[in-house]
Structure 1
């Protein structure tokens, strides 16, 4: 149905009508409207978000966010370039303090994020879609998973896939090195660092931003995800501060990945083209990569990033297959299975592990686990936006489960194959020189491992191409999201201006070069750990905000349950048809003309009668015809004003559907037919009105209206006031009743008591 969700968003953001005095159980008092700057206190307030968040209907640059973030990044870059030794030593001292005093905080934060996203996925609210209920995914499963994998995984994973296992084998965080226990845990530690934790952070921010953007029509931003907590204040200095923190963290995260990438790719280009290694080659690669990034970024998601993502997945798969076939195949497969099993068994223990009882535990945590947790926190806002951007129509459950399984499994395969190949060379072949090289110079160790396989130059070329695609994908999506964070974009499918994306690509390159000059990879690790600290606050705010929103979704579902308890026996979520109507429906596949005639002859008169009766009883009702630009047929629409509560919406829309291959009739004249589906604020009810009588349609409107009252009743029964489901005094009773003449139903607060 074209533009259905946009229409619902537009209608939900209209200013409320003047209040009418009405009651549910005889009361007439009204809850006062919220002050201008307070957080939303009802779903009706939340529906005003699109209007309150967007000062302009066109995309605008957030100059305050842009200038402050740019000043921070430029100042840091100048400091690192002008005084590299001072910058490196200062950051080292800060990181040592964080590792000693705040290591527990990082560990606890990531643990809570993992638990939260799993709770969302496994709860009943996991069926909620990132968009209206009738929305469906934009991309196919393979393309979607490829984009998930390529956007969330950087070239840094290749960098650490060899040095990580070797270091943990030689010098594990606890116990002696070169033992069986160290061998079993060596690869698993790297899998842990590239496992569920990082993707849980991506999933948290991605599903929160996607939910508010596609289900409520708000901008695709961190601000929108915090609107339930902060209200209009997210549009002022407080919102700018949050966007600035997210933006600066994103730039440092992407710059770190780019810096690690050029260090690794510099070795590859040196081996392939005979270029001298060093900082000059690395800076040259940064410049070349920025040019390629600008060219790919300006082509948009559907062209540049989508094409690179799929090519990235195929090249990585080819590289893994080559290593598996030409290497120690049986050993690698056995080790992969054991690594995954050990990861799953020890995951809870590792997640909460701080090594408080180890003498050098804080130092190890700062160099490994805390760095990776900070890395994922810094990447979280930017990858979250990108994942939300490509996941419209997915359910929360589908989004979370896919994010923490499919890309993670790809990570595990890559880390296990590289890591176990390196361990085989060290343990079985006794190659101590290679082990020392992997520890002292990870980029050299990675290519040294590739050089040991048959057809080494082919594999080195393939690996360099794969690494370059990893790098370009991260840089592309990073520049796009940075421009979005520094802009106000009302339409979630749009991106920031191209010049701004080019600007951020250049500024990120400057920061990358500065950190390379200030000490390379080590300095990048320090900067990431420091600048990710404020992002943890955003993670907590988003979890709190999103949990409140899910209470709203739960209240609506409970409203449907209450309605099914309270409606008359003829009621239900789908209008009940006679057996003759059911039989006719099985063989009827109406054309657009037939549906239009039914609208005029049956549906419109039924809605007109209902609207007239509502008005006669004092309700404020709006009826309208919504233009469908695709069919050219106006669709009837009815709205009952509910004052400070969420208004009741009922729209009948034309929906094209494919004719089943096997149906009641033996032949088909066309491949499609038309349905008349009922749409509310959250999308299609999923049933067809075609063939019903006028009275049945009237009954359906009243059933839907009663479901709406039940939803409000479920909200009212909340014992604890919150930003979304506030406590509303039962004694005053402000909810409207059904119009007189409706079927007798039971009282919503007491299903066993008839309504007065």
Structure 2
């Protein structure tokens, strides 16, 4: 099915090279001349190039201003400073573990007592913001141009969402969390009916919507700027609307360092918890001695597997492990449900989910300010989990954006806070309620073990099921896959944070991914030596604190750019009634041309020849006629990634936005349902028309010279209609452009009666 083009040139697509499938570093078209928030055709310039962007015109300069080079390069400042911080912390924790543990404990106590409210408020605002984006009209905006579509199918995509954002730590806390909240609840007496009702719900809350909202916030922001505006897939690009070119200098490096260090500690914490848990599983299965030696051996083995998987790329190693991870988790849950207390588990799951949503608003803002010891409980549970989500946010956000090109913001957010969260709920509820069932039966020894040694308590629960060794083996495999997916994703994203990569579809070099996998393993071993899981929790809570600043900056930046999208969309709605140029926006073809196009998948050489023989002469001819009639015309070329000069026709209009018509070579995949019986290649090339607002989504290949000229004139008439209608509003706001004074209306080419209105 052919892709329908946008209604007019004000489509939400952008002029970035990220719109072109497979484009490698092509320069974007010249910047727009749009007013503040993209409303009118009048020019609105920044005071200086260092100022933050104030319009979509300024945003189009992002790829040029953010990238000093068009090829991937290592950011040595970010890499070296981050590495020094992590290595110094690791050496400190290894040489003086007792002192490191005591110092971090003091810092965590101070944060829990003085800044607990800040963590709670931050996560509440993140949840509210992403829900607002999903439910607003801007939710229809895509992570990419308007005609882009998702790369992965729904099942594969959800599996990768789930596997990347869920770590082995969830298995670790799925038993100990509910038991601890039942025995020692944050308020009221323990081992009561009231404590039982909330025991599992607290763990569901900690693994629920709040954390996935943080992932969704950073993922959609980074994906939006990468795929819609052609900027790098990074945190600093998401802050470009606020900081402008400053994000390329020391300020941007500082932001990347904060995100990178937080990511390393978050992943290291998950790895540490994972090896503590798997240590017990491998001991039960293979008869190995439990202890620090086995834990370090597991870290080393996991690094080897991580290197092998992450260097194979998203489409092979990581994708395969993600899908296997999902199915192994499903098999484990089905086994527990069928062989366990089926009716009790299903009743409890329904009640847990109902209570979760019923108490969510109050629980989200709960700080236990009136409870003795409330700060200690918050520091050990809610604040730790919020810090954990914050630390994981940048790296999971990048990975989610990496696999979500073509999804709408609404689709992205709703999927992120529903499908994986529901999977989390099922795992936590089945494990947690299975553990509580044993406690209710009077198994106090198990309850004490689950509280004192969570990893042993988890396996002790598995041993109570029929076919225990089979379940233990399946659970250990599932835990190992959880572990590997987090480590794989982390190593890949850490390499991206420490490099400048123009193409969002590319990742950091393999050696850099190996470096971060090894360094994260060293940090994991250091924290194991310094005290194990508790020390990891301390480190996570401390190093996640600066990441909260990034969350606020990203929300402010993304809110600003969505206001621009809204103004652009309203301008499009206002213009639509006038859009009826001859031939429409897709050039009319004869029936023979249409039939030929259905089977035409030209090579780069073929489209280049057509560009030289038909398109360039057509643009030269129409450009000459424009000049003969007194128009200010500029004809230039822009080199693309293949070294081919792409023609640009630009008609200046004094203080108003210029008319821009560029023909760009776009690489596209050959559809599997095409009419070809065999294919020598999986890609073909198109000649797409780009205006200031992006690709029209159609192909000029196969047209005659006259048809190309007609298309230029159709686009030009649409541009004049846009300028006319953008001056006819009478409300000055960020949503609609201000009315032009009457003495300026006549200056609009085709305005004030110059264009016949329907």
TM-score by length of structure 1 reads 0.85
Q: Distance in 2 between matches of 1:398 and 1:527?
A: 34
* TM-fit CA distance, 1:714: 9.8
1:177 equivalent in structure 2: 190
Q: Indicate the residue corresponding to 2:93 in structure 1.
A: 80
Closer, same or farther: CA 257–671 of 1 in aligned 2, 3 Å: same
Asked if residue 4 in structure 1 is aligned to residue 20 in structure 2, the reply is: yes
Q: 1:318 aligns with which of 304, 327, 331?
A: 331
For residue 398 of structure 1, the aligned residue among 406, 411, 430 is: 411
Q: Which runs of 5 or more residues in structure 2 are unaligned?
A: 4-17, 34-39
Contact 1:42 1:645 in 2 (8 A): no
Partner of 2:457: 445
Contact 2:745 2:751 in 1 (8 A): no
Match among 233, 241, 253 for residue 220 of structure 1:
233
2:528 counterpart of 1:516 = yes
Evaluate the alpha carbon distance shift between residue 177 and residue 59 of structure 1 in structure 2; reply closer, same or farther with a 3 A threshold: same
Separation in structure 2 between the aligned mates of residue 669 and residue 74 of structure 1, nearest angstrom: 56
Cα distance, 1:573 vs. partner?
Answer: 11
Asked if 1:539 is matched to 2:555, the reply is no
1:676 Cα deviation after fit: 8.9
Following TM superposition, by how much is the alpha carbon of 1:636 offset from its aligned partner in structure 2, in angstroms?
7.6
Structure 1 residue corresponding to 2:116, chosen from 97, 100, 103: 103
Cα distance in 1 for partners of 2:71, 2:49 equals: 24
- For the Cα contact (< 8 Å) 1:589–1:674, is it kept in 2? no
1:700 to 714, 737, 755: 714
Question: Separation in 2 of the partners of 1:125 and 1:359?
Answer: 45
Q: Deviations over 1:72-100 (max 9, x none)?
A: 11111111111111111111111111111
- Which is worse superposed, 686-695 or 336-345? 686-695
The 1:51–1:735 alpha-carbon spacing in structure 2 relative to 1, beyond 3 Å, is farther
Question: Partner of 1:620: helix, strand, or coil?
Answer: strand
Change (3 A) 1:707 1:519: farther
User: Which of 198, 202, 210 is the matching residue for 2:211?
Assistant: 198
**Distance in 2 of aligned mates of 1:594 and 1:312:** 38
Query: Are residue 92 (structure 1) and residue 105 (structure 2) matched?
Result: yes
Matched, 1:299 2:312: yes
Distance 2:455 2:351 in 1: 27
Alignment equivalent of 2:50, drawn from 29, 32, 37: 37
Q: Please say if residues 709 and 735 of structure 1, whose CA atoms lie closer than 8 Å, have aligned partners that are also in contact.
A: no
Q: 1:48 to 1:162 in 2, by over 3 A?
A: same
- Matched pairs, number: 720
Deviation per CA, 1:297-331: give whole Å up to 9, x if none.
21111111111111111111111111111111111
Change (3 A) 1:646 1:59: farther
Task: Decide whether the 8 Å contact of 1:659 with 1:671 is kept in 2.
Answer: no
Tell me the CA shift for residue 730 of structure 1. Answer: 6.8
Gap change, CA 1:685 and 1:89, over 3 Å in 2: same
Unaligned runs of 5+ in 1: 18-23, 662-667, 747-753
Retained in 2: the 8 A contact 1:626–1:637?
no
Report matched runs for 1:268-279 at 5 Å.
Answer: 268-279=281-292
Please, which moves more after superposition, 641-650 or 461-470? 641-650
Native 8 Å contact 2:24 2:503 kept in 1: no
Query: Per-residue CA shift, 1:422-466, capped at 9, x if unaligned?
Result: 111111x21111011111110000000000001100110111111
State the shift of 1:36 in Å. 3.1
* Residue aligning to 1:526: 538
> Equivalents in 1 of 2:84, 2:638: separation in Å?
51
Please state whether the residue corresponding to 1:404 is helix, strand or coil.
helix
For residues 300-449 of structure 1, the aligned pairs below 5 Å read 300-427=313-440, 429-449=441-461
2:83 counterpart of 1:70: yes
Rounded to whole Å, the distance in 2 between the matches of 1:614 and 1:730 is 28
Identify the residue that residue 13 of structure 2 maps to in structure 1. none
Partner Cα separation in structure 1 for residue 585 and residue 219 of structure 2: 37
SS of the residue corresponding to residue 737 of structure 1 reads coil
Contact 1:305-1:477 within 8 A present in 2 as well: yes
The alpha-carbon distance between structure 1 residues 89 and 657, as it changes in their structure 2 partners (threshold 3 A), is: closer
Whole-angstrom CA distance in 2 between matches of 1:271 and 1:736: 83
Give the drift of 1:477: 0.9
Tell me, in whole angstroms, the C-alpha distance in 1 between the residues paired with 2:728 and 2:186: 52
Distance 1:62 1:38 in 2: 23
Asked whether the equivalents of residues 266 and 388 of structure 2 are also in contact (C-alpha less than 8 Å), the reply is yes
- Cα distance in 1 for residues equivalent to 2:621 and 2:241: 38
Is 1:678–1:685's contact at 8 Å kept on the other side of the alignment?
yes
Deviation at 1:626, TM superposition (A): 9.6
Measure the CA separation in 2 of the matches of 1:143 and 1:449: 31
- The whole-number CA distance in structure 2 between the counterparts of 1:727 and 1:511 is 57
Partners of 1:648 and 1:708 within 8 A in 2? no
Q: Is 1:551 matched with 2:528?
A: no
Shift of 1:264: 0.3
Match of 1:504 in 2: 516
Number of the residue aligned with 1:665: none
**Selected match of 1:489 from 498, 501, 508:** 501
**Could you say which residue in structure 2 is the equivalent of 1:459?**
471
**Contact kept? 2:303, 2:521, Cα under 8 Å:** yes
Aligned-pair CA distance for 1:225: 0.6
Relative distance call for 1:84 and 1:13 in structure 2 (3 A) is farther
Tell whether the 8 Å contact from 2:25 to 2:641 is kept in structure 1 after alignment.
no
Shift of the 560–419 alpha-carbon distance from structure 1 to 2, 3 Å rule, reads: same
Q: How far 1:548 moved relative to its partner?
A: 0.9
| Deviation of 1:606 (Å) | 8.0
Kept in 1, the 8 Å contact 2:78–2:256? The answer is: yes
* Aligned partner of 1:563 among 575, 597, 614: 575
* Separation of aligned partners in 1, 2:510 and 2:670: 38
Displacement of 1:644 after TM fit?
A: 8.6
Compared CA separation, residues 644 and 47, structure 1 to 2 (3 A): farther
| Residue 637 of structure 1: how far off its partner (Å) | 5.8
Measure how far apart 1:745 and its partner are: 5.0
In 2, distance between residues paired with 1:107 and 1:582?
Answer: 59
